[in-house]
Amino acid sequence: MEFGVQVRGDWDHVVGVAQWAEDRGLVSIALPDHYLQRGDNLDEPAWDHLIHLAGLARETSLELVSLVSPVTFRHPGVLYKMAVTIDEISGGRFTLGLGAGWMDEEFEVFGLPYPELEVRMEMLEEAMAYMRAAITPGDKGFSGKHYQLADFDPHPRPTNLRLMIGGAGRPKGRRIVALYCDEYNVYARKPEVYREVWEATRAEAKAAGRDPDSIFWTSAGPALAARKDSDYRRLLEALAEKTGQSTDKIEKTYEERGYPHGPGSKAAEMVAALGEAGCQRYFPQIFAEDMADFDINLDAYQG
């Protein structure tokens, strides 16, 4: 199992985590693309992490991942130009992840268009088809209900731009991956559920004429792990205070959803089970401020 890390914050924090990740031998750093940190707290600052990723392209040799950018933020023509530019700056180390958007408040407070989920999923599929057409030599444009790309040869061509969506493994998401994506990030869940998504998506890819092995499989989940029970309890209690939930509720939720977590060897065993289910890279979402807590979490996940 490979490991990356997902993080958010200001530039100094993001670049500091990237340097830590390189020192720890991780392969990638992922940033979420949100205009609010949390929908229930409008006082926390949030940045445009696609711009942060462009900066990281010159500060680190890690693979760079947008995990993920809502298609409702930017037209796919804008995404194409941003993505191929980050691809150029990084020398082919960028993965553009797209999603339908889910944090209602960030669309409401900024006045961004936010249609119903069914429409957003239509937009996501069309945006991915548009992006695939734009970066594939010989493709003849794209025409859909929401987006159109003229029949011409867009430039520049990327070196190694990879396309990914994140999601829960539902049928529409699986179809998009099978047709257009290089990577599928299925949010952490119980291994048997992950395996079902893995098998169904591979079957759809094969039916579409693609090699199922060409799809790279990843997952991400909130970081809450430590080898020492005392460290784990401290992290758990800090999360409870920050979110206003009880420690029992947090642990019950993590257990029900299959998020790798816990003291001792539990988190590493849960990550290993995801690997046996088909996952090839795991991104713990470490949103701590203290870099010592990054080490504590990663040590537990790596076992």
Domain spans of the chain? 2-302
**Total residues belonging to the chain:** 303
- Enumerate the H helices of 136-243 as residue ranges: 171-180, 191-207, 229-243
Report how far residue 219's alpha carbon sits from residue 276's, in angstroms, rounded to the nearest whole number. Answer: 13
The pLDDT profile of the chain, 303 residues, written as one tens digit per residue, is: 999 999 999 999 999 999 999 999 999 999 999 999 877 778 889 999 999 999 999 999 999 999 999 999 999 999 999 999 999 999 999 999 999 999 999 999 999 999 999 999 999 999 999 999 999 988 889 999 999 999 998 989 899 999 999 999 999 999 999 999 999 999 999 999 999 999 999 999 999 999 999 999 999 999 999 999 999 999 999 999 988 999 999 999 999 999 999 999 999 999 999 999 999 999 999 988 899 999 999 999 999
Tell me, what's the pLDDT at 250? 97
Residue recorded with tokens 């409702």: 72
Tell me how far apart the alpha carbons of residues 179 and 174 are, in angstroms, rounded to a whole number.
9
Fold of the domain built from segment(s) 2-302: TIM Barrel (3.20.20)
Name the residue among 76, 191, 153, 158 with its Cα closest to residue 122.
Answer: 76
Residues 6+ apart with CB under 8 A from 154: 80, 134, 135
Q: Is the sign of the CA dihedral 275, 168, 129, 73 positive or negative?
A: negative
Q: What is the pLDDT of residue 95?
A: 98
pLDDT reported for residue 236: 97
261 closest CA partner among 228, 231, 221, 289: 221
